[in-house]
């Protein structure tokens, strides 16, 4: 008897894992196998440090709800952080040219860990002291930023760093390093809520998030 065809193939790559989802079967079959592998047969990948995951859907036409279902199934499992959910289906190539693709990630960056990303990132969670978040684009943290954040790592000084609670050990935008928090001029550094950092005239500045629109920055996901 021929072996059953796998609908979900998990491959290790240099920066994490790639989940290849079959585009020739029913979507429900893909979801069922994905759940089974994560809950039953691939427990060994659910322990240890954070693993970045890229999901490839092939030519399957999917709704945003189906994309989010795949993302949520994987994100619920321990240390797996979904970086992207990609499809070759042309119906998903409708975003206007020049519109940033802000990736949404949920988790916690703990001491000794570094989370890296290409492009703009919306991080739903905390960056703990001793942890670091690094991106080639802007960084938006819906949580406490108490570690190090480096936006525009490839040299883009237009990038910003925003956080619900801004109490970092250090901020960097491109090659510019922030002053110590007690020099920001915002009062008590332990009570800095809803701020963002940006570069102006070669120097990093801090302002309230509600002023972010003045800088012509795209902040929607």
Q: What is the pLDDT of residues 163-200, one digit of tens each?
A: 999 889 999 999 999 866 665 555 444 456 888 999 98
C-alpha closest to that of 42 among 67, 12, 72: 12
CATH code for the domain in which residue 64 is found: 3.30.160
Q: Let me know whether 209 and 112 are in one domain.
A: yes
Q: Let me know whether 12 and 82 are in one domain.
A: yes
Taking the CA of residue 208 as centre, how many other CA atoms within 13 Å lie in the half-sphere pointing to its CB? 5
Q: Let me know whether 110 and 79 are in one domain.
A: no
Q: Let me know whether 108 and 182 are in one domain.
A: yes
**Could you tell me if residue 2 is inside a domain?**
no
pLDDT at 218: 42
Q: Let me know whether 83 and 115 are in one domain.
A: no
pTM here is 0.52
Total count of residues recorded for the chain: 221
Which of 31, 57, 92 delimits the end of a domain? 92
**Could you tell me if residue 220 is inside a domain?**
no
Residue range(s) defining the domain that contains residue 191: 103-215
Per the CB < 8 A criterion, the answer to whether 50 and 81 are in contact is yes
Q: Let me know whether 152 and 199 are in one domain.
A: yes
**Could you tell me if residue 97 is inside a domain?**
no
- For residue 188, the tally of other CB atoms under 10 A from its CB is 8
Q: Let me know whether 200 and 115 are in one domain.
A: yes
Name residues of the chain where pLDDT drops below 50: 1-3, 90-99, 187-190, 217-221
Q: Tally the domains of the chain.
A: 2
């Amino acid at each position: 008897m021929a072996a059953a065809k796998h609908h979900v193939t998990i491959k290790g790559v240099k920066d994490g894992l790639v989940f290849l989802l079959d585009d020739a079967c029913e979507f429900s079959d893909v979801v069922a196998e994905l759940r089974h592998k994560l809950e039953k047969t691939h427990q060994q990948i659910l322990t240890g440090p954070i693993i970045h995951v890229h999901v490839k859907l092939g030519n399957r036409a999917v709704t945003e709800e189906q994309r989010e279902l795949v993302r949520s199934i994987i994100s619920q499992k321990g240390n797996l952080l979904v970086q992207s959910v990609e499809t070759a289906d042309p119906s998903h190539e409708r975003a206007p040219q020049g519109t940033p693709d802000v990736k949404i990630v949920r988790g916690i960056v703990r001491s000794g860990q570094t989370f890296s990303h290409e492009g703009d990132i919306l991080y739903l969670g905390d960056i703990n002291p001793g942890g670091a978040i690094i991106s080639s684009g802007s960084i938006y943290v819906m949580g406490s930023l108490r570690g190090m954040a480096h936006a525009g790592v490839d040299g883009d000084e237009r990038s910003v760093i925003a956080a619900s609670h801004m109490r970092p050990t250090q901020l960097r935008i491109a090659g510019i390093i922030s002053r110590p928090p007690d020099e920001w001029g915002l009062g008590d550094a332990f009570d800095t809520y809803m701020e963002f950092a940006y570069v102006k005239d070669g120097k990093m500045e801090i302002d309230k998030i509600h002023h972010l629109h003045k800088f012509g920055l795209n902040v929607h996901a």
